[in-house]
Every structure is written in structure tokens, then in C-alpha cells.
Amino acid sequence: MKKFFLLCILLGVIANAQTHRFIYELQYKIDSTDDHTDKINLVLDVNPKDVKFYEYDYLKADSINRLNKNYEYVYGGRFESVKRARNSSKNQVYELIGEDMYSYPTDDKMDWKLSNDTKIFGGYTLQKATTHFGGRDWTAWFAKDINISEGPYKFRGLPGMIFLLQDSKSNFSFTMVKSKNLKDTYDTVGFIETFYGRKPLEISEKMRVKKRMDMYNDPLVEMRKSFKENASAEMNILGTKVTHIEQFKDLTQRVQEFLKKTNNPIDLSKAIRY
């Protein structure tokens, strides 16, 4: 078992006025047909009034941006950020599509089935629960000793904090690796409520599908425009140096093939049918 860094013991007895921050390591497959997995750390901030889930890279870059007092590019976008009110299954999702950030609401109530199975992890007794969500079957292990009914991404609603979460085909596997209390709620305005200093465009889920399809149909449109306007500038796409406008046809097809191959979102029911 990997070393476990839980800094807060029995968080359920700590004052609710604090923010509880949980760090999850996620092992995931960008291609469901390949055994290769990538890793990423994600943050779950359980605040007094709301809950926020986002990439740890956003947090690191935001700290630098605050020191520099600007909105430099924040590397991320592999996973959408999620925000919801406490004790609610209604989420506001923030998703990077191309170079723009969009926001749309979803309602994600989950029907959990509790099991009597238990195991010890990180000094806690965890209980097993299962659910079907987003086109996948999930198994969660939660701690009843921590009286917070939350977990990574959109997963919540159990009588305790989710420590471990995995789908039945091992495409996504979350492990809590660290937790701590924050005296004050962390302000995420630099990377969730704004992006590059701009407020995300609020759209419907139907419009999200259209935006995704538009990006798929012409994924290199901005690069192609830039190449036309400044043909002398060096441009590299997928490891290929672009020297002629005619190259964009082949490169577009290669990008589209990549988008199809890596079309494996956590919420499989919302996968775009390219």
C-alpha cells in the first residue's frame, strides 16, 4: 500500500466553518482500448457553503499568478472542473473546449447500494458501496468516521467521505492521498470562475455537444488562420513542422483520429459521437 498522508483525524468533529481539502491521485486511460494509464492529482475543496473539484495543476499555477498579479496561461484542461452547493447533486461544470472555457449545469443524483464489506486503508475502516453513473459501474470505499458526504468529481451522497473510487473496467481509479484543513476558503476566481481573466461562457449541454463537434470538424482552424497571416512564423503540430498550407489537410485528419481514440470521459454517457 502506498504511503498515506491524511493530516486531519476525524474530520467530522472539526468546525464546519473550515475548508477541508482532499487531494486525490487519479490513474486513468485516455484510450479505453489500451492498457496504458496516466496519472494526475485533483483537488476537492469542501467549503462551508460549496464544493469545488479541479486539477491540482491549476492550484500550482494560480499560486504563481497571484505572486505575479496576472492571469498567465494555466496548464490544464484534461478534466473539467466541478462546482456545487453543499448537500446538492446539481453541479456547475467548467470545461475547456479548444482555447475557450465554457460552463453548463448538470443534475447528477446517484443511487448508491451499500455493502457490508469493509477494509482498512490509511488507518480508517472503509465500507463498500456501488452505483451506476455515466454509463459505468462504480465501486466506492468510504469512511463513516468522516462525516462529510462528498467525494471526487460528481460522486457524493454516501454516509461518509469517499477514499477510493474505481469503475468496473479500471478506466478511472481515484485514491485519496492527502488531506488538510484550510483556515479560509481558497478563492478559485483565477482558474474556475475566470479563465485568462475572462468569465467562462455559460452554455447548455446541447450547445456543449455542438462546440465539441465544431472543434472536431475543424480542430486546426486558428492555427491555419495564423499560418496564413504570418507564413514566416515557425509552427509545429503533432511533431510536424508546418511549411505549406497544404499540410493542414493531413494534420487535421491526424488530430481527428486522436480525438476519436482518446474519447474516454469519466461520464461516458456524455461522450461525443464523432
* Confidence check: pLDDT of 204 > 50: yes
State the pLDDT at residue 1.
Answer: 40
State the pLDDT at residue 68.
Answer: 75
pLDDT band (50, 70, 90) for residue 72:
low
The residues spanned by each domain of the chain are 5-182, 204-270
Strand, helix or coil at 160? coil
Q: Would you list the DSSP string of 99-158?
A: TEEEEEEEE-----EEEEEEEEETTEEEEEEEEEETTEEEEEEEETTS-----STT---S
State the pLDDT at residue 194.
Answer: 85
How far is the C-alpha of 178 from the C-alpha of 170, rounded, in Å?
22
How far is the C-alpha of 112 from the C-alpha of 108, rounded, in Å?
12
Number of H helices, E strands in the chain: 4, 15
Which fold would CATH assign to domain 5-182?
outer membrane lipoprotein receptor (LolB), chain A (2.50.20)
How far is the C-alpha of 254 from the C-alpha of 41, rounded, in Å?
29
Strand, helix or coil at 214? helix
Query: What's the chain's average pLDDT?
Result: 89
* Confidence check: pLDDT of 225 > 50: yes
State the pLDDT at residue 71.
Answer: 61
* Confidence check: pLDDT of 228 > 90: no
Instruction: Tell me which residue of 15, 20, 101 sits closest to 53, measured CA to CA.
Output: 20
For residue 6, report the phi and psi dihedrals to the nearest 5 degrees: -85, 115
4: amino acid identity, one letter: F
Q: Average pLDDT in the 203-211 region?
A: 95
If one compares 243 and 151, the residue with the highest pLDDT of the two is: 151
* Confidence check: pLDDT of 102 > 80: yes
CA distances in angstroms from 228 to 5, 62, 239, listed in the order given? 52, 34, 20
How many other CB atoms are found less than 10 A from the CB of residue 37? Answer: 14
How far is the C-alpha of 157 from the C-alpha of 89, rounded, in Å?
8
244: amino acid identity, one letter: H
Percentage with pLDDT > 90 across the chain: 68
